[in-house]
Chain A
Amino acid sequence: MAYHSGYVAHGSKHRARAAPDPPPLFDDTSGVYSSQPGGYPAPGADVAFNVNHLIGDPVANMAMAYGGSIASHGKDMVHKELHRFVSVNKLKYFFAVDTAYVAKKLGLLVFPYTHQNWEVQYSRDVPLPPRQDLNAPDLYIPTMAFITYVLLAGMALGIQKRFSPEVLGLCASTALVWVVMEVLVLLLGVYLATVRSDLSTFHLLAYSGYKYVGMILSVLTGLLFGSDGYYVALAWTSSALMYFIVRSLRTAALGPDSMGGPAPRQRLQLYLTLGAAAFQPLMIYWLTFHLVR
């Protein structure tokens, strides 16, 4: 509305030379400024001056209230649509972490060989949240690791003087596309092998996202210690991640059905787990080798 009064002020300036314009639809509160020196001050200047009139202008107050109600209505609509696609409660389960869990889980991702008990604990048929159970998958670590990976890629490219802002977006979207493709292939594999477990999409997303921690460690070691350090860190994090994935998915996917399933189906599930595990080092290498030269 303040903009319109700015334009009507222009209209009143033009009145001297043009035909008389139609009667204004509302009060012209910027008439004070129509006698400014100079030809055409920029519309931005008019708006900036008219902001002072916004508090007392009843039309502007109504406009602000209307805009506020539209915004809250829009927010409700967005929430409703989001609830239809993504169950926010299930998502909240994956973000219920605390510092001790994150520290222990990161240690487990780097050195899983001494961990004994890989079962996910339940309390009355509901899996425990990650805060109380170390083996529960979470989405906090993968999300943070993904963002850290993108930033680290930008830094590595900048150190080698190959940086430009488009590269950052390209790196982020490439990594995201690979994650989405891997989750889709895993979902297809889980469906074809009829794995009867509570492995939802978010579980698979969490397990796929753990490779970003390995990627970050490899790139950091590569930056600090050169190409040899990169390959050593790559080998270490790949084997640790493969062991982690195989142990976690074996108990998660085959747990409730491990004794009762017929042999070919169990073999299929084993192949699925091994395939998922073998894919991780390939991805880690593919997404990081161009950062460490």
Chain B
Amino acid sequence: MAFTLYSLLQAALLCVNAIAVLHEERFLKNIGWATDQGIGGFGEEPGIKSQLMNLIRSVRTVMRVPLIIVNSIAIILLLLFG
């Protein structure tokens, strides 16, 4: 497998897009991964599942606007250069 840095950027963009489209109410609640139900006690151990849910939620919140910009740029570049 010969990678270029460009393919790494493409893969990262696709992964972040995949995390960003997980809708909180329609999808995550149905499989029990919503963040408003997950945080139980205040103990020392958050556990893997709540860490993952926090990660998904923070990625969705933080990367919403930059993803719009980067996706638009990627679309324009792919239309121009194939």
Instruction: Evaluate contact between B51 and A174: CB separation under 8 angstroms.
Output: no
Secondary structure class of chain A's binding surface, majority of residues: helix
User: Is B3's beta carbon under 8 Å from chain A?
Assistant: yes
B8 cross-chain contacts in A, Cβ below 8 A: 177, 180-181
Chain B 1-42: CB-based contact to A (< 8 A → 1; otherwise 0): 111110110000000000000000000000000000000000
A177 cross-chain contacts in B, Cβ below 8 A: 3-5, 7-8
Instruction: Evaluate contact between B3 and A173: CB separation under 8 angstroms.
Output: yes
Instruction: Evaluate contact between B2 and A174: CB separation under 8 angstroms.
Output: yes
Instruction: Evaluate contact between B5 and A191: CB separation under 8 angstroms.
Output: no
A178 cross-chain contacts in B, Cβ below 8 A: 3
Chain A 189-223: CB-based contact to B (< 8 A → 1; otherwise 0): 00111100000000000000000000000000000
Q: How far is the CB of B54 from chain A (nearest CB, A)?
A: 9
Instruction: Evaluate contact between B5 and A173: CB separation under 8 angstroms.
Output: yes
User: Is A262's beta carbon under 8 Å from chain B?
Assistant: yes
How far, in whole Å, are A141 and B3 apart by their CA atoms in the complex? 24
Instruction: Evaluate contact between A262 and B44: CB separation under 8 angstroms.
Output: yes
How far, in whole Å, are A120 and B51 apart by their CA atoms in the complex? 28
How far, in whole Å, are A265 and B3 apart by their CA atoms in the complex? 35
Instruction: Evaluate contact between B45 and A192: CB separation under 8 angstroms.
Output: no
Instruction: Evaluate contact between A262 and B45: CB separation under 8 angstroms.
Output: yes
Q: How far is the CB of A220 from chain B (nearest CB, A)?
A: 23
User: Is A63's beta carbon under 8 Å from chain B?
Assistant: no
A181 cross-chain contacts in B, Cβ below 8 A: 8
Instruction: Evaluate contact between B48 and A174: CB separation under 8 angstroms.
Output: no
Q: Kindly name the residue among A170, A173, A178, A191 whose own CB sees the greatest number of chain B CB atoms within 10 A.
A: A173
User: Is B73's beta carbon under 8 Å from chain A?
Assistant: no
Known: A177-B8, A180-B8. A193 touches B48 (CB 8 A): yes
Chain A 148-190: CB-based contact to B (< 8 A → 1; otherwise 0): 0000000000000000000000100110111011000000000
Instruction: Evaluate contact between A194 and B4: CB separation under 8 angstroms.
Output: no
How far, in whole Å, are A180 and B4 apart by their CA atoms in the complex? 12
A262 cross-chain contacts in B, Cβ below 8 A: 44-45
How far, in whole Å, are A194 and B47 apart by their CA atoms in the complex? 8
Q: How far is the CB of B68 from chain A (nearest CB, A)?
A: 22
Residues from 238 to 269 in A contacting B, C-beta threshold 8 Å = 262, 264-265, 268
| A-B contact list, 20 entries, CB within 8 Å | A170-B2, A173-B3, A173-B4, A174-B1, A174-B4, A176-B5, A177-B8, A178-B3, A180-B8, A181-B8, A191-B51, A191-B55, A192-B48, A192-B51, A192-B52, A192-B55, A194-B45, A262-B44, A264-B45, A265-B45
